[in-house]
């Protein structure tokens, strides 16, 4: 049975099987959490990402964690917010595909940032709702699989939003 935990802090410092990178389609580093993960992991991460030839929105790819405490990095590309229904579906896919990839690699702990809520402009409240619904549905579907999901909030506001979502 899986469980969800909320942590406020720096995702690059977490000792888990995998952290999720809110990446751009190139997978070659960028702003926000993407840049922080690339910087903390070291140049080998960029070298491995170059071999992956990018990633489509809503999909996920895995690399080693290199100098991170996490063993692996799962890179997922969130939608750039436009207000369409498809944005919601693509954001949900980011969480589901990341969890599926973790399970495929026999990983049992994963930490997510608030995907698409930074530079990609997805409003925090609906993004949190989609994230928690996706994760809870996945944990229910794979109730026989041991998975700890950490929702890592970078700031107090996001952590409070996550705690409210978890209570629902």
24 contacts 59 by C-beta, under 8 angstroms: no
Predicted confidence band of residue 2 (pLDDT cuts 50, 70, 90): confident
Asked which of 12-16, 26-30, 69-73 is least confident by mean pLDDT, the reply is: 26-30
Cα–Cα distance, 144 to 167 (Å, whole number): 23
Indicate yes or no: pTM above 0.85: yes
Residue range of the domain that includes 28: 3-167
Domains held by the chain: number: 1
- pLDDT (average), residues 1-7: 88
Give the pLDDT of residue 12: 98
- CATH of residue 142's domain is 3.40.220.10
């Amino acid at each position: 049975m899986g469980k969800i935990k909320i942590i406020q802090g720096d995702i690059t410092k977490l000792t888990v099987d995998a952290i999720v990178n809110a990446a751009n389609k190139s997978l070659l580093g960028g702003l926000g959490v993407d840049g922080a993960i690339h910087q903390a992991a070291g140049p080998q991460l960029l070298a491995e990402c170059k071999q992956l030839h990018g990633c489509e929105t809503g999909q996920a790819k895995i690399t080693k964690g290199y100098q991170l405490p996490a063993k692996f990095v799962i890179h997922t590309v969130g939608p750039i917010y436009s207000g369409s229904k498809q944005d919601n579906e693509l954001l949900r896919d980011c969480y589901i595909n990341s969890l599926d990839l973790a399970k495929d690699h026999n990983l049992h702990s994963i930490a997510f940032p608030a995907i698409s809520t930074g530079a990609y402009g997805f409003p925090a409240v609906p993004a949190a709702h989609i994230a928690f619904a996706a994760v809870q549905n996945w944990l229910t579907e794979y109730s026989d699989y041991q998975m700890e999901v950490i929702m890592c909030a970078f700031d107090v506001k996001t952590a409070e939003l996550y705690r409210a979502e978890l209570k629902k």
